[in-house]
């Protein structure tokens, strides 16, 4: 398979995804927005772009061109704009407003680990800040070191399947390989990674690793960090290679220091991943429970006593009701809450029957494959819906957390309450939807979707709501993020979560690996 | 259950385990030793103890007594001797020789996290080195900071089950709780940890965490580090608490920095662990394969495609032959290699049948429950056998590594070859036995047992053999330790394994948390 055959969607900021897949809002959704007081802004349009002052200094350009060749150093406005921020709602709103703060002064395209390594050493010597850019799909401000001139290091040329070890079932993939391309490359050998986050059409291997991504099939395939057995990282001090064995007792697991490091400690250039045979069978089912609490008890039973399906998620009453607005989803069934239960693998029939027994005993009612297939086919659709919702004048954003099972009901209630209060205070009472998206033996994640009318300053409006949600998460004992990472948006919460001494520890690690502080400055690790 | 009811064996160095469980060597074993040229040393006996020079300085004693009370500070020779080194064969040999180097100048017994915390702050201020001591079962020199005066911090009073969260299935256990006591405490609530390393009768929760222990039921219950969802660590800089959720994308997983840190970055005082219901059913089976390679392919099939039993281990031809010397083991069957396959849980019949299908298809022959039960009943016996073997003049020691499946055959061959060469050169050709003790999707561990005649200086004899094995492990791409940790014995190999920049990173972490370098100096992290 040649590079051009790979199924890669090149995203550009401002609107999500493949333009051919853009969606119109259903009539029922438009009707629902009226109840939230949403009004389509008259004549709002994308602002014209004005280049910010400053730019790449002459000495820096010379250095970059020397290391990578002049054709791999771009400073045109269009390229830089296409590497500005990610895909949070505030990012989209700022993009629509033509806000060119956070724009890189240049975009560079190294083609190999060695080039990334040489680049970091040269940039460190000249104190040039760099932000690694793979899929560009951050929703937490992970690409925007505020107020600092920086060069975006686009890793799209690191796009190879380097090695596949079929006996050990591992594959070495470069950091710039998109999720879709990874699946295509592995499929040629009969394997799958099984990692399908909602950002699947845009995100990349390096980003998955650097942000501890988690996909929709995590119950069956695990989180991305659980798939990683080895890492190669370029740092301003040199290259680090980790992972001689699946597991080791040789000291701290340093792979876990770079997973989730968000480009602040080095640039991950390739990852050795556990792969699995492509599933022979696949089926998705809908199940209905009388209440979220009933559904929660049922999926906890599966998470703790098994058997685990490959996909397991549970919508709350509000999210189920919104799904019901689409008459296809529940086949006419009304009320209660919807769980999606998916199976992939070989000989899934026994596991399906066992899961059905557990769910039935827990009060579940099977809705058959209809709702499951509807969910599967629409699994990457939600981010596409956001653009027309923003067009209509709605504020729509998501956030997530995780906690132990015993804390989840209070965590859900407190976060919902905080969001409702913070947006109602601003005159825009929201609809707050929630689902459990990932389950573990000891707990689960909660994924919230928030929809309200926009105020005149929707960026500030959301900032206030998000801050309230973050405070509620901390107070209720949840983690500030289960799979979106820290970026700049969660930095304060992260600092509170790990405490001052742990922050100092990370700062010390950073000082060793990145002595001049050129790597994603201001992201994740508070400045020392 | 009161403290005195807990099934705790207080080990003392020099001979392993509960004196009531000591074993005599079977006649067949004594016969086999003759073939290795092993001669019982005439009249060798334990040397009389001579106290080393030096001791606890007056100011330090005053400080310790002020923090903990005078009754919790012991400096008598017997107590100090009982906290000298661990249970590697060199440790036992040095103990028998009355070697009092590596003896702590005092042993202190804090009773709570707060006391450990206060102790570390005070010791840091006065530059008093401390070695945390829980079960004392290190086999890698993890309790012997060479040439440095130190205080042993015995954590046995931190022996409580602090909390059990039955909804989340987590239990908070203090660091000094022994493995056996943990099971007894959890059993009262109907739970198990499922962690059964060979050191089970001696080792403790804190040690499991600090060394990334792995138990014999790891296929079913996971490694100890996989059971940990939260940690409380006392450091000279203050307390760190980690683990708000089962999984998080909030930065690097800092729990993984303290797991495996071997007391060098802080003292783990309690751990929040995932627990499971006590199994309703339990059965162990023996399976026979024509060769180790056949058996390896079969267990790889289970590890990669499932279903996984709870216990899965495979002896090589040599180890199987030694087991066969005990006529009970294979019920008269001869030749080939032995696998042990164990099942624990609810409704295990289906899983057993599926595993039997996989193993049969891979050429396995069921030997029924006899060999399985023999193994289960003797599962903690091996360390007891070492003492009479040493008495007879044999050198016997174990070592372990792990690698990816594709590397295992070469890794096994190279390590065996290195051990045979290094001991043959010394005139004591060894018997080298090996088994796969822990399996993962992408690889497995190899556990070697080495038996030869002792030379006149068996400590030096083993040092040379072990160094050769370590070089072979590194050259064949394995990890220097899969579950025994680094201590002092693996430090050089560890440094080579992670590389100079990673070592500097750990040194920087240590400088932040332990600015005066009082925590287990010389263990794990090379001095900067």
Which residues of chain B have a pLDDT value below 50? 327-331
**Tokens in use for B470?**
């370590």
Q: How far is A439 from chain B (nearest CA, A)?
A: 9
- Chain B contacts of A169, Cβ < 8 Å? 304, 405, 441-442
pLDDT score of A166 more than 90: yes
Confirm whether the ipTM is greater than 0.85. yes
Task: Find where tokens 């060979």 sit.
Answer: B198
- pLDDT reported for residue A3: 55
Instruction: Check residues A333 and A312 and name the one with the higher pLDDT.
Output: A312
Alpha-carbon distances, residue A270 vs A122, A240, A442 (angstroms): 21, 11, 31
Q: pLDDT confidence of A141, banded at 50, 70, 90? A: very high
Domain A161-277 class? Answer: alpha beta
**Tokens in use for A229?**
């057995």
Question: Across the interface, do A259 and B241 touch by the CB < 8 Å criterion?
Answer: no
Nearest to B482 among A249, A252, A277 (CB): A249
Q: How far is A171 from chain B (nearest CA, A)?
A: 10
Question: Across the interface, do A250 and B497 touch by the CB < 8 Å criterion?
Answer: yes
Question: Across the interface, do A404 and B257 touch by the CB < 8 Å criterion?
Answer: no
- pLDDT reported for residue B326: 56
**Other Cβ atoms closer than 10 A to B188:** 10
Nearest to B248 among A246, A251, A481 (CB): A481
* Span of A35-49, A362-376, B187-201 with lowest mean pLDDT: A35-49
- Chain A contacts of B505, Cβ < 8 Å? 254, 257, 509, 512-513
Go through chain A and tell me how many residues it has: 528
Yes or no: say if A476 and A411 are a contact pair by the CB < 8 Å rule.
yes
Name the CATH topology of B281-377: Alpha-Beta Plaits (3.30.70)
Share of chain A above pLDDT 70, in %: 95
Task: Find where tokens 């036995």 sit.
Answer: B433
Residues A258-303: tens digit of each pLDDT = 999 999 999 999 999 999 999 999 999 999 999 999 999 999 999 9
Q: pLDDT confidence of A146, banded at 50, 70, 90? A: confident
pLDDT score of A12 more than 90: no
pLDDT score of A122 more than 60: yes
- pLDDT reported for residue B10: 67
* Span of A109-123, A415-429, B341-355 with lowest mean pLDDT: B341-355
E-assigned strands of B149-190?
150-154, 161-165, 170-174
Q: pLDDT confidence of A54, banded at 50, 70, 90? A: confident
Provide CB contacts within 8 A for A470, sequence distance 6+.
A480, A490, A492, A493
From CA B36, how far away is CA B237, in angstroms rounded? Answer: 53
Average pLDDT for chain A: 93
- Second-level CATH architecture of B382-489: 2-Layer Sandwich (3.30)
Q: What is the CA radius of gyration of chain A?
A: 23
pLDDT score of A314 more than 60: yes
- pLDDT reported for residue B346: 86
Nearest to A168 among B406, B499, B506 (CB): B406
- pLDDT reported for residue A115: 98
Look at residues A99, A209, A230 and name the one whose alpha carbon lies nearest to residue A155.
A209
Domain boundaries, chain B: 161-277, 281-377, 382-489
- pLDDT reported for residue B418: 98
- Chain A contacts of B265, Cβ < 8 Å? 252
Answer yes or no: pTM beyond 0.90.
Answer: yes
**Tokens in use for B411?**
């890794």
**Tokens in use for A44?**
């709002």
């Amino acid at each position: 398979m040649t590079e051009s055959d790979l199924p890669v969607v090149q995203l550009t900021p401002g609107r999500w995804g493949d333009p051919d897949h853009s969606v119109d809002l259903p009539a029922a959704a438009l009707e629902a927005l009226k109840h939230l007081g949403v009004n389509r802004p008259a004549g709002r349009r994308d602002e014209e772009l004005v280049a910010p002052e400053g730019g790449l200094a002459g000495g820096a350009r010379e250095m970059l061109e020397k290391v990578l060749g002049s054709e791999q150093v771009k400073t045109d406005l269009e390229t830089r704009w296409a590497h500005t921020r990610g895909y949070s709602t505030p990012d989209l709103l700022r993009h629509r407003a033509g806000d060119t703060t956070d724009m890189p002064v240049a975009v560079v395209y190294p083609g190999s680990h060695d080039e990334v390594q040489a680049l970091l050493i040269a940039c460190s010597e000249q104190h040039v800040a760099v932000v690694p850019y793979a899929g560009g799909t951050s929703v937490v401000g992970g690409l925007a070191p505020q107020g600092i001139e920086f060069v975006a290091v686009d890793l799209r040329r690191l796009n190879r399947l380097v090695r596949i070890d079929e006996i050990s079932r591992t594959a070495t993939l470069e950091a710039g390989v998109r999720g879709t391309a990874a699946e295509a490359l592995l499929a040629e050998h009969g394997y799958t990674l099984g990692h399908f986050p909602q950002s699947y059409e845009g995100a990349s291997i390096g980003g998955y690793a650097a942000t501890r991504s988690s996909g929709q099939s995590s119950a069956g395939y695990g989180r991305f960090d659980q798939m990683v057995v080895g890492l190669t990282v370029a740092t301003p001090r040199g290259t680090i290679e980790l992972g001689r064995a699946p597991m080791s007792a040789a000291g701290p697991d340093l792979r876990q220091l770079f997973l989730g490091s968000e480009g602040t400690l080095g640039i991950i250039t390739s990852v050795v991943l556990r792969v699995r045979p492509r599933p022979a069978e696949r089926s998705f089912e809908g199940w209905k429970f009388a209440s979220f609490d009933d559904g929660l008890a049922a999926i906890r039973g599966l998470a703790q006593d098994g058997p685990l399906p490959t996909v397991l998620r549970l919508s709350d009453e509000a999210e189920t009701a919104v799904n019901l607005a689409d008459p296809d989803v529940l086949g006419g069934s009304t009320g209660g809450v919807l769980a999606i239960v998916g199976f992939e693998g070989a000989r899934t029939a026994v596991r399906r029957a066992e899961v059905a027994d557990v769910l039935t005993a827990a009060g579940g009612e099977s809705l058959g494959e209809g709702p499951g297939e509807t969910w599967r086919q629409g699994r990457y659709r939600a981010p596409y819906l956001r653009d027309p919702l923003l067009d209509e004048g709605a504020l729509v954003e998501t956030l997530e957390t995780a906690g132990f099972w015993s804390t989840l009901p209070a965590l859900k209630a407190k976060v919902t309450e905080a969001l409702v209060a913070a947006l109602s205070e601003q005159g825009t009472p929201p609809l707050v939807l929630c689902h459990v998206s990932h389950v573990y033996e000891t707990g689960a994640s909660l994924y919230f979707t928030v929809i309200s009318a926009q105020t005149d300053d929707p960026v500030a409006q959301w900032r206030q709501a998000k801050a309230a949600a973050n405070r509620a998460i901390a107070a209720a004992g949840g983690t500030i993020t289960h799979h979106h990472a820290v970026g700049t948006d969660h930095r304060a919460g992260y600092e509170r979560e790990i405490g001052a001494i742990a922050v100092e520890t990370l700062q010390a690690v950073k000082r060793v690996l990145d002595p001049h502080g050129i790597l994603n400055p201001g992201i994740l690790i508070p400045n020392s």
